[in-house]
Amino acid sequence: MFVGRRKELSLLEEAYTSKKGELVVIYGRRRIGKSCLVQNFTQGKKNVFSFEALENETTQKQITHFAQQLQKQTNDPLLGSVDLKKWENLFYYLTERTLALLPENNGREKTVLFFDEFQWMAVGRSRLVSLLKFFWDNFWKEKNIMLILCGSIASFMVKKVLRSKALYGRTTLEILLKGLNPTDSLSLLQHRRSNEETIKYIMVFGGVPKYFEQINTNQSFNQNMNQLCFSSQGIMVHEVDRIFYNQFRQAKTYLRIVNLLENRIHSMGEISEKLKIPSGGGLKLYLDNLELAEIIRSYTPLDRSETSKFKKYMLCDEYLLFYFKYIKPNIKTINESTSKKKFETLTGDSFNSWLGFSFERFCLKYSGALARIMNFEDEVLLASPFFGRNDKKFQIDLIYKRADKVITICEIKHQNKKISTKIIPEMERKCSLFNAPRGYVVEKALISLYGPDESLKNAEYFHHIVTLGDIFKNISIKGYQVTL
């Protein structure tokens, strides 16, 4: 079932109907739906050549596999009997085939070349990128070709492709594909589960389509969690190994960093000190790669610049947060116990508290969309959590610094009831401890599942109120970037 991705499909169609060659780069984490997006886009189009790479194989095996796929798509028996050993020979043959198609449509329709999991095809090296540059410049660019390079290792796709000297200035469209927004996640469940259940799935699985496809919509949240995450055969139990060991060469070092960020936010200096990793280029490279993979996210303090050493890092991947809290410590029980209610037993009363922290992270992730709901999206300069320096108990879940000289302080509550006036003293304490920049006005916002009760509503204390209904009605994340 394919849902959402309307903006991304529109961008691809716009590129397809242009009158020039288009070089498109699509990247995003594993399971996010990149291949499905391109397959949906190319459906019904005539001249499409698709090539999927083999994971962790040598260059020669990649070439052989590419040739086999090309032979199948061109129905050329000769190609199957030729032992090709170089990418150049394959690309010359591919070029002849694609150019031969041009007279059939008089150049009106593009020929699409789709290279899936490109980082495996290139075996993590730059040579294939340089070779593509040669064929793009000399054969494909002027022949109405649409070349789509798709990959799940963001560090390679960004550093070796988008920022490479070979393809610099040649990419015409860049799409960073992210998780489905809440409304589309609900659609993927065919609207058979409630908003309350859907937000729980989002807070555990992060809107990753492949994960949502595993959910049985005829069963409850607890039943699905037991089957997917707390069964020895559960598809999610060993997902972390696939995330790290397929994504990073030094997986153990990356896991150490992520484990440290599991429970709290840290600066680079704190990470360096605790893990004994030099805070120079080595640690920064690890953090940059984790952030490109959307596993962690950095936040700049309200009163600091983007380059500040006080920048803080937080684990933001929803499933990793859930895994390190509940699955990893209980992996032996999960593998050995025959109980069908291990989710309830192993999470216990702590799960509601965990949902509260997860809801805060959800709101941070969708801070731009929440600002849109509150009608100040265009004014936002910065959105981040805020921690008081002299009082460890002083924390603001989400704070906005706005161009219109307003600071919006958000209180985020994940409670299965409406919020009462008891929240006012707590909010007043935070506002009194927070020193707003000179010339700024402070506004207060409440983000919760069901909004205020009558007493709090009548108090007219909050300037902005956002509920779960507003979130499912209005949120759509801008999961793309465009380069022209």
| Segment 273-326, tens digit of pLDDT | 999 988 776 898 889 889 888 899 988 777 666 666 678 899 999 999 999 999
What does the radius of gyration of the chain's CA atoms come to, in whole angstroms? 25
pTM: 0.85
Q: Which residues, given as ranges, of the chain have pLDDT below 70?
A: 80-83, 100-108, 281, 303-309, 388-394, 474-484
The whole-angstrom separation of Cα 298 and Cα 313 is 4
**Per-residue pLDDT, 480:** 33
**Per-residue pLDDT, 478:** 44
| Segment 133-146, tens digit of pLDDT | 999 999 998 888 99
**Per-residue pLDDT, 393:** 59
The whole-angstrom separation of Cα 307 and Cα 398 is 21
List CB contacts of 128: < 8 A, sequence separation 6 or more: 87, 121, 122
Q: Do the strands 312-315 and 266-267 form a parallel or antiparallel pair, or are they unpaired?
A: antiparallel
List CB contacts of 208: < 8 A, sequence separation 6 or more: 29, 31, 32, 179, 180, 319
Could you give the domains of the chain? 6-176 (3.40.50.300), 188-364 (1.10.10.10), 366-476 (3.40.1350)
**Per-residue pLDDT, 247:** 76
**Per-residue pLDDT, 418:** 96
The whole-angstrom separation of Cα 130 and Cα 108 is 29
Q: Which residues of 171-184 are buried (b: 16+ CB within 10 A; e: fewer)?
A: bbbbbbbbbbbbbb
